[in-house]
Chains A and B, each alone.
Chain A
Amino acid sequence: MTLTSEQLNKIVKDYIKKESPEFKDVEPTIRDEERSIPQEVERKLGLVHPKEIPAKLKVFTFKKIVTAEDGAKISIVGKVTVDAKTGKILKSTGN
């Protein structure tokens, strides 16, 4: 059974609160991930049978501007990729 948007939101927000608390008050933007390997990339890597991928992925992006100690504005971004069906976190990355 596919999770609802609310359930997915909760899973990802709970995760981000724990792993990247600086984003705990940030409302994420959500978009479907383009799940593709360009054909030329397949060729260059000699790929034929890419690993099976989840049917539907969503990427939650948390973004905020912070001020460094010298006054500079730094854009910080956290991205969490999640399997929309199971709620499994597949990747978490940030800057």
Chain B
Amino acid sequence: MNEEFEKPPKGELTDRPVPPKIAKAKEAKVAAKAAAKAAAARKGKTVLIINGDNDIHFEDDQSVLAFTSAFQNMGDEVRVELAKDTSYSTWGNYDIVVWSCGDDYSAIGDVNNKQMLVDYVSGGGCLILEGGNIAGWCKEFGAGTIPNRMFREKVLYATTDWVYHDVGDLKLKNPHPIATTPNSLPETIGFTPTEPGDGSGDANAVRILPDATGIYNWSYVAYNGNLVRESVSSISYGLIACESENGGRIVYYAFDIDDIDNPDIQQKLIQNSADWLRKTSNPSALIISSKGQLVEKYGEDGFNQIEQKINDYIQALNNAGLLGNLIYVDDENCLSPFELNPVDPKDANKIKELLDDLDRKLVPSTFLILGGHSIIPFHIIDNPCGNDGDSQVYSDNPYASRNEDILIPERSLGRLPDDSSTNVTFLISLLETITSRIKKAKKSSFGLSAKVWKEASEYVYDAIKYGQELKLSPPVLSNNLKIDWINDKGYFYFNLHGSEETPNWYGQENSRYPVAFSPDNLANTNVENAVICTEACYGANIIDKSVDEAISLKFLERKAACFVGSTKIAYGPSEPPSTDADLIVLKFYEHIKEGLTFGEAFIRAKKDFADETIRRLGYLDETGKKTLLEFVMFADPALKMEETE
């Protein structure tokens, strides 16, 4: 397909030639031992392999054989159908569908095929799509008609950028279970097209949408013998995985599987892909805490009470179809089944490493940290804008990130904090709150802003405004705030000053800073199931705070469902457009209104925030970086808001 397209954009190519590739004989090893081991553990799985490799011009159609033997060696029942004969109505009978194109492109050659694949993934199906020649049409046709665009966005997760065909070996780029579980794949996977440079499309180097994970890219990417620039080749992938919003999963091999040099690696890659795909049927929640820290703080009796409530919570998760896994990071009994070792519960870096390992082994859909800083510590990170008075930022971003880049997390993660007292009452009440899985709240809102930020705040508040206008402080003060304004409201928005010294939030008019909101304002209110976002500095600072010393904890004590705020000084503009804290809160609420879970809305808010900041400024500035780090969420990430009238 190469010759069908124009040259790649100027600026993507270098003048450096492709390095000589050492010819590699394809090894004849069979993965019998590994496959037999896997087979014993995986009885009763059914797989449909659709043979879409029909091009008579390319004598290279071993892909279906590779898939068939890999699945059969795992003990799976396999059915093979030709693409032209397959019936979508039967796909639901299989737990995995494989559409194997080899170096053909049948999946995109027919509008019905595209539509079947879109419907299957959108409906929660698990798909392996294999083809070295599929993404090539993205730039030309992938933005055109609705079926084409849907297929590109919902199945391939590819952008409309240029796709290259001349590639080297597969190179591991990002950690992912498909690279590690159950088989550890090598960092470099030897890959040799049937006839290198023949234009038959044995591989694609494809750029992907943000929702997808590029697992392997290529050791080089070239066009007409010249290397493509590193900035392009480093984000042009060969092995891609993605989970759709409704649980559908796709693994996309942008290459012909039988052109992987080592048949053993072919088998292991298929095994790992199947393993990851099948975990979708049992979405799970990982609950992280520290047994030692809980016992030290609350005593054995208190710990036992907490653990009982955790068990109730896990039962409620199970009833909702979510498998709950409780892991104490310092408890060998919890970790040994996963061949992992306990870590120091005061060492945030070690806990993150453990979380990364657990993510690879369990592939949980959500992560809940149980406890405040004294149980599972926040990460303490140097402040990107270090001259504002905060030397460091407290953040959960590293826990929520799959790698060392922590600005844009990928994990759906929240924290259920405890307070400073040694009485278990508060933490137990929070566990009881999340054990109730339905979070219905009224379609009603309360917003309060410092008067000086009126225009900027109104712009954000519009996202959740139901009836009641944004209140301004002054004239609204803590001691004249009417309980009716906040009682039974579903959405809360605050844009006020905060202090490290007191629990209060403050308004502003000129040089006057009156108390606008305090924990006492929540004393006799019903805020059950409410979602709260605050831009107040230190609005989510809970370290060594009792319930009466932090508005965030007070909201949670009153059974609010979700609290989002900043652990340190937070920034914002005085007028639209929204930036910094205004922007992250706006984006969070937009996604909550779309019906996403709290965890998913929080991830997307940060991603959107970075995207929009870079689009507007051309880079991620220091207050933008700080905002991404310092905003934390206190909520069960698997829950979502359900509006009632």
Contacts and interface: CB of A to CB of B under 8 A. Distances in A.
B619 A50 contact: yes
Contact of A36 (B497, B569, B611, B619): B619
B619 A94 contact: no
A95 B235 contact: no
A91 B618 contact: no
Interface string A31-75: 101111111111111111111111000010101001111101111
Interface string B193-232: 0000000000000011110001000000000000000011
Contacts, number: 156
The DSSP consensus for interface residues of chain A is mixed
B126 interface: no
Contacts of B209: 46
B570 interface: yes
Given A43-B235, A51-B615, A73-B501, A66 B610 contact: no
Interface of A: 19-22, 29, 31, 33-54, 59, 61, 63, 66-70, 72-77, 79, 81, 90-95
Contacts of A31: 387
A50 B234 CA distance: 15
B512 interface: yes
Q: Which has the most chain B C-beta neighbours within 10 Å: A29, A43, A47?
A: A43
Nearest to B566: A95
Given A37-B614, A68-B514, A70-B515, A75 B389 contact: yes
Given A40-B407, A41-B407, 19 more contacts: A33-B622, A35-B618, A38-B405, A41-B620, A51-B617, A51-B618, A53-B617, A68-B506, A69-B506, A70-B515, A73-B499, A74-B537, A75-B388, A77-B569, A77-B571, A79-B622, A93-B571, A94-B573, A95-B569
B235 A46 contact: yes
* Contact-size category for B: 35 or more
12 contacts: A41-B407, A43-B235, A44-B410, A45-B408, A45-B607, A48-B161, A51-B614, A59-B622, A74-B497, A75-B388, A93-B580, A95-B570
B572 A94 contact: yes
Interface in B546-572: 569-572
Contacts of A67: 513
Contacts of B607: 44-45
A16 to B, nearest CB: 11
A38 B499 contact: no
A89 to B, nearest CB: 12
Interface of B: 11, 159, 161, 207-210, 214, 231-232, 234-235, 385, 387-389, 403-405, 407-408, 410, 497-502, 504, 506, 510-515, 537, 569-574, 579-580, 607, 610-611, 614-615, 617-623
Given A34-B622, A40-B403, A72 B501 contact: yes
A50 B510 contact: no
Contacts of B537: 74-75, 95
A67 B493 CA distance: 24
A65 B173 CA distance: 47
Contacts of A63: 387-389
Contacts of A21: 510
A73 B231 CA distance: 47
A74 B511 contact: no
Given A44-B607, A46-B207, A95-B537, A35 B619 contact: yes
B102 to A, nearest CB: 28
A35 to B, nearest CB: 5
Contacts of A19: 574
A76 B510 CA distance: 13
Nearest to A94: B571
Nearest to B9: A49
B571 A95 contact: yes
Which residue, A40, A49, A74, A90, has most C-beta atoms of chain B within 10 A? A74
